[in-house]
């Protein structure tokens, strides 16, 4: 009897987490679609995840594309961009970035 209850509860928990995972994956997919569209169009319409009203703009620093917020100057890297970054002269890269921010 109690075993049956445990199994049932476990089943419900699994179902709950499965559904939560599906939701998270769907959200991520929607986000990636948005980013892909923006990239194709050559503009980033991504909103800054940190501040209100900030828009992420793609800029190139040492040939590495990064998304920078036009409001708070927050910097966001897509997957793969960090990898490219590690292949550049990282100190020089950061100097370029900071120089860009002070413009
Ligand atoms: Zn921002």
Q: What is the pLDDT of residues 23-56, one digit of tens each?
A: 888 888 887 787 777 666 655 468 898 898 898 8
82: CA distance to ligand 1 center in Å? Answer: 19
Mean pLDDT of 79-85: 80
Element (H, E) at 67: strand 64-69
One-character DSSP codes across 6-56: HHHHHHHHHHHHHHHHHHHHHHHHHHHHHHHHHHHHTS--PBPSSSTT-BE
Q: What is the share, in percent, of the chain residues with pLDDT greater than 90? A: 4
Average pLDDT in the chain: 81
3 state SS of 91: helix
Residue 60 scores a pLDDT above 70: yes
68: CA distance to ligand 1 center in Å? Answer: 8
Structure confidence at residue 72 (pLDDT): 92
Cα distances from 49 to residues 10, 44, 59, 98, in angstroms, run 35, 13, 17, 21
45: CA distance to ligand 1 center in Å? Answer: 13
């Amino acid at each position: 009897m109690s075993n049956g209850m445990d199994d049932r509860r476990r089943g419900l928990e699994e179902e709950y987490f499965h559904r939560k995972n599906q939701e998270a994956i769907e959200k991520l997919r929607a986000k990636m679609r948005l980013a892909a569209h923006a990239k194709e169009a050559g503009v980033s319409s991504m909103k800054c995840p940190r501040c209100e009203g900030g828009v992420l703009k793609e800029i190139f620093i040492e040939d590495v594309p990064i998304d920078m917020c036009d409001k708070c100057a927050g910097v966001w890297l897509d997957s793969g961009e960090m990898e490219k970054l590690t292949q550049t002269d990282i100190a020089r890269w950061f100097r370029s970035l900071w120089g860009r921010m002070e413009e």
